[in-house]
Amino acid sequence: MDNVITDIDIVDNKESEACGVKISMNENTGKARKMYIESYGCQMNFSDSEIVTSVMKQNGFDTTSDYNEADVVFLNTCSIREKAEQTVRNRLNHFNAVKKKRPDMTIGILGCMAERLKEQLLEEEKIVDIVVGPDAYRDLPNLVQKSDEGQKAVNTFLSREETYADISPVRLNSNGVTAFISIMRGCDNMCSFCVVPFTRGRERSRDPQSIVKEAQELYNQGYKEVTLLGQNVDSYKWSEEQNNKARLESFEKKGTQFTIINFANLLEMVAKINPSLRVRFSTSHPKDITDEVLYTIKKHDNICKYIHLPAQSGSSRVLELMNRTYTREWYINRVDAIREILGTECGISSDMITGFCTETEEEHQETLTLMDYVKYDFSYMFFYSERPGTLAEKKLKDDIPLEIKKRRLAEVIERQQISALERNKLDVGKVHQILIEGTSKRSDDYLFGRNTANKVVIFPKEQYKKGQYVNVLVEDCTTATLTGKVVTQF
């Protein structure tokens, strides 16, 4: 997934899905207890950690960035790949070593890994005190109390309604410029390799008024960019009648049609808050992204011209085994529509999996030729990792040797680096509008921000400050970064 996050403390960044971010916020309002949290995996997990922090703050906890002084330690986890879970297990072992010196410390595991393993973590391994799934964060204060009293503290109930729409997130690790807004939860796409439908439940959309209100409040607080989050934002759908059973029954009896707000409608509602508020979104599904969404992006200059469109494979047969519900030809049709409606400068990124069950060498080559056709600006690339409980684990044989998976992955990475450099070279000599997000990690004398296509641009600091829009003439590039100088300040 698109997980560009800045001003954070990276715990482990060997693989993006195993990357952990710890809380970098100390708040001491005199409350009796302190909490510490680390997040792993996708942007949705980081957004959820902000909800968790809000719930705990409302129930008598301050925050700390030092786990040694925390009364409660939470790990918000990812189950998308084995590496992600192993990273979390290593952290749990570390915290349990600390707990031996501080027996009063409470350790809780949250999110997808908690949902997948449930009570096993409490009963068999006994390395945690609390186990909480993604839809049960409101219950955390009660579960902490149960743990304090020596009771089993677990809640992995998956809801059909929970969206946390009424909870105002506490912005963690915030640069004060960019923020995430969760617009929906869960996933109805049963991709055979994926655990998300089992760990996050069925799809449900948050009401648009609460989303627009949150975006407006962020803008009022000085934020200049929001990213709308969902496992599949293109399937966002909400209506006052359908999401209110009593009203729906009334409308059905009268035979009255009701208005449905889709993702294109929501995008426009957020974009209209203010022209200087940038709007991004993640993630799109190739089977659902519509021309209506693309024309909405084109209509509003403040909706960024960047789409994360995971392909996973370039082979129609492999895509069918993955249950992606589209073909290579359909995917190419959507890419062509993006290029035609939004122009060739629109950024496109992807996810790619190599070595999926029964994938042949010819089908691997189809992935490479798809990459050649699209020329992604960047991509998240992995070899197939079978996950317990998925449809693939139940019905397909993981029959590609690890060395072949890794070799194919290396070829995909090499092809992506070629495309990324080629795409970045097209930006050299052009002026880009950049929203400054902070100081470059390499030097305090340089700032960084991103252009509309989600590319990082680095330039001399001079008199410019975080949160400003500037025009930057790009003078050089690498496969990952553009560099240049400011020519106009907004």
pLDDT at 80: 81
pLDDT at 348 (0 to 100): 98
Q: What is the mean pLDDT of the chain?
A: 89
What's CA 215's distance to the chain center, in Å?
17
Identical fold between 16-155 and 431-489: no
Under CATH, domain 16-155 is a member of which superfamily? Methylthiotransferase, N-terminal domain (3.40.50.12160)
Decide: 82 and 40 in contact? Cβ < 8 Å: no
Q: Is the pLDDT of residue 121 over 90?
A: no
Diameter of the chain measured on Cα atoms? 66
Angle subtended by helix axes 263-271 and 291-299, to nearest 10: 10
Alpha-carbon gap, residue 250 to 73, rounded angstroms: 47
> Measuring CA to CA, which residue among 86, 2, 8 is closest to residue 49?
8
Q: What percent of the chain has pLDDT over 90?
A: 76
pLDDT of residue 9: 30
Is the predicted pLDDT of residue 188 greater than 80, yes or no?
Answer: yes
pLDDT over 50 (residue 322): yes
User: What does the pLDDT average to over 211-229?
Assistant: 97
Residue 11 has pLDDT above 50, yes or no: no
Q: Is the pLDDT of residue 14 over 50?
A: no
For 176-304, CATH number out of 3.30.750.210, 1.10.730.10, 3.30.390.50, 3.30.200.20 equals 3.30.750.210
Structure confidence at residue 29 (pLDDT): 62
Mean pLDDT of 83-92: 89
Handedness of CA 84, 124, 110, 312 (dihedral sign): positive
Q: Please check the confidence at residue 18 and state whether its pLDDT lies above 70.
A: no
Q: Over range 196-214, report the average pLDDT.
A: 93
Sequence-distant (≥ 6) Cβ neighbours of residue 408 within 8 angstroms:
354, 355, 359, 364, 383
Write down the residue that tokens 């400050």 correspond to. Answer: 465
Parallel, antiparallel, or unpaired for β 456-460 and 481-489? Answer: parallel
The pLDDT of residue 292 is 98
In whole angstroms, what is the distance from residue 24 CA to residue 9 CA?
7
Inter-axis angle of helices 328-342 and 361-374, to 10 degrees? 10
- Range 13-17 average pLDDT: 33
Q: What pLDDT is attached to residue 4?
A: 29
Rounded average pLDDT over 421-444: 96
CATH number of the 431-489 domain: 2.40.50.140
DSSP secondary structure string, 216-231? HHHHHTT--EEEEE-T
Q: How far apart are the C-alpha atoms of 64 and 259, rounded to whole Å?
A: 45
pLDDT band of 406, cuts 50, 70, 90: very high
Interatomic CA distance for residues 44 and 201, integer angstroms: 14
Residue-level pLDDT at 28: 62
* Residue range 294-314: mean pLDDT, rounded: 98
pLDDT of residue 311: 98
Task: Give residue limits of the domains in the chain.
Answer: 16-155, 176-304, 431-489
Query: Between helices 263-271 and 208-220, what is the axis angle to 10°?
Result: 30
253: left (phi over 0), alpha (psi -120 to 50) or beta: alpha
pLDDT given at position 84: 83
Q: How far apart are CA 301 and CA 276, in angstroms?
A: 9
Which tens digit of pLDDT belongs to each residue from 247-292?
445 445 555 556 889 999 999 999 999 999 999 999 999 999 999 9
